[in-house]
Amino acid sequence: MYRDIVTESFDFSFTTRDDARKVVTSSVADLFESSAVKQFYYDNFARPQIAGLKTWYKSTQTLNQVTGYFTEQGDDSRVLAVGTSSISNLSFITAGALLKFEPTSGNHFMTELGTQMTGTAGHPGSAEIMWTKVVSVDGDGSNGGQGNLADGTGPIVLSDLIPTDAEIKEIIPTYVDSISSELETAIIDKIVAFKNFGLGYNNTTRVWYVIDEEDLNTGDFDLTNGQDKTGAGLDASWMIRFSTNDLTYTVFNRATQYIFQSFSRNKFYFDESVKAIDPETGLVIKDSVTILKSNTKPDFVSNLTFDYKWQIVKNIMGADGYSDTRKLQVGLFDGDDDGVVDNPDLFKLIVSPTTDISEKYVYFQ
């Protein structure tokens, strides 16, 4: 298994402004939602760390969501504000953000119960860490320091069963995967004027921005000069780039792809046109590859604690134009199909590219 940092592309031409609009609202909009683009975002943008002991208090729990709020050192009388009401890194807790939690020392999570258990993980339903998405935040996330709302629910809703006293450690700020009307107009204006330009993302403000031709650097990704407006061609922070020859456009996007490959022992068959539906949940049953816990961890000393699933994304075409049955493109798994991956660090957990790099093999089913 390996990771590829690639630049994908497609071409288009247009006659009218409406033609350009259709491209932006379809093909370009698809890039904003692309799993490979999101995976690039997870890997390459800063992740604010949480200083000190900030813990979650669970107010209510339903089938796959909890409500609650954050406290300082588990003290229910010290309820913490989040979002724009906070001056700490808790300001990044907004709807759509991904949060990483660790259990209390000496415990592990029971993910399906929304509880903690004493001892080490490794048995069914257990986990050493949990990632979740912020579904919504009511007001400042603290109810003015009071905690629960009048109906007994908490002001923050999370998409997984995070238990009381879970410690928040890290945040992946909200990634906006849609095109605002203002950005759509700006993109179309550039296209009909046959301008070269790029689109970058500011994960502090959670806003996409346009990189003008005179500021655009078409080289390797670099946030150092993001939103530089000196006209010196320094800004290489683009996630999506538009290049024209005054007749047609090529649209480039940065992407992180994960490839699962077997040189000789296995062949893969994946029909991208067929989708199976679970009759009980109504959700699509995802084709997957499972990395078995019989594999060793990246240190080659101890085994993985769990089996880990990867979602099959698509076939990989060979030089002959046919699917290469030796390998597949896979992606980070989203078990509950809520648009948020279960663990954005899965590749690092299993492969750890910087550890013992001479050999990296995994067994799967």
DSSP string for 151-198: TS--SEEESS-PPTTPEEEEEEPPP--S--HHHHHHHHHHHHTT--EE
Concatenated DSSP letters of 77-91: EEEEP-GGG-SSGGG
Q: How many domains does the chain have?
A: 3
C-alpha to C-alpha distance for 95 and 176, rounded to whole angstroms: 10
Q: What is the pTM of this model?
A: 0.89
Looking at residue 191, its pLDDT comes to 99
Please give the radius of gyration of the chain, using alpha carbons only, rounded to the nearest integer.
Answer: 22
Instruction: Kindly state whether residues 135 and 203 are assigned to the same domain.
Output: no
In a domain, 129, yes or no: yes
User: How far apart, in Å, do the first and last CA atoms of the chain sit?
Assistant: 13
In a domain, 104, yes or no: yes
C-alpha to C-alpha distance for 92 and 96, rounded to whole angstroms: 10
Of 221, 254, 287, which residue is a domain's last?
A: 254
In a domain, 192, yes or no: yes
Of 121, 137, 172, which residue is a domain's last?
A: 172
Instruction: Kindly state whether residues 288 and 319 are assigned to the same domain.
Output: yes
Instruction: Kindly state whether residues 143 and 209 are assigned to the same domain.
Output: no
Collect all residues with Cβ–Cβ distance below 8 Å to 47 and sequence separation of at least 6: 170, 171, 172, 173
Instruction: Kindly state whether residues 149 and 240 are assigned to the same domain.
Output: no
Q: How many CB atoms lie within 10 A of CB 171?
A: 24
Instruction: Kindly state whether residues 209 and 161 are assigned to the same domain.
Output: no
Looking at residue 336, its pLDDT comes to 72
Looking at residue 291, its pLDDT comes to 87
**In tens digits, what is the pLDDT along the chain, a chain of 365 residues?**
889 999 999 999 999 999 999 999 999 999 999 999 999 999 999 999 999 999 999 999 998 899 999 999 989 899 999 999 999 999 999 999 999 999 999 999 999 999 999 999 988 899 999 999 999 999 999 999 999 999 999 999 999 999 999 999 999 999 999 999 999 999 999 999 999 999 999 999 999 999 999 999 999 999 999 999 999 999 999 999 999 999 999 999 999 999 988 776 677 777 776 777 777 777 777 788 888 888 887 766 778 888 888 988 888 887 787 777 788 889 998 877 766 788 999 998 888 877 665 555 555 55
In a domain, 291, yes or no: yes
* Cα three-residue angle 2-236-15, rounded to 5 degrees: 100
**Which residues form the domain of 64?**
54-172
Asked if 111 contacts 125 with a C-beta cutoff of 8 angstroms, the reply is yes
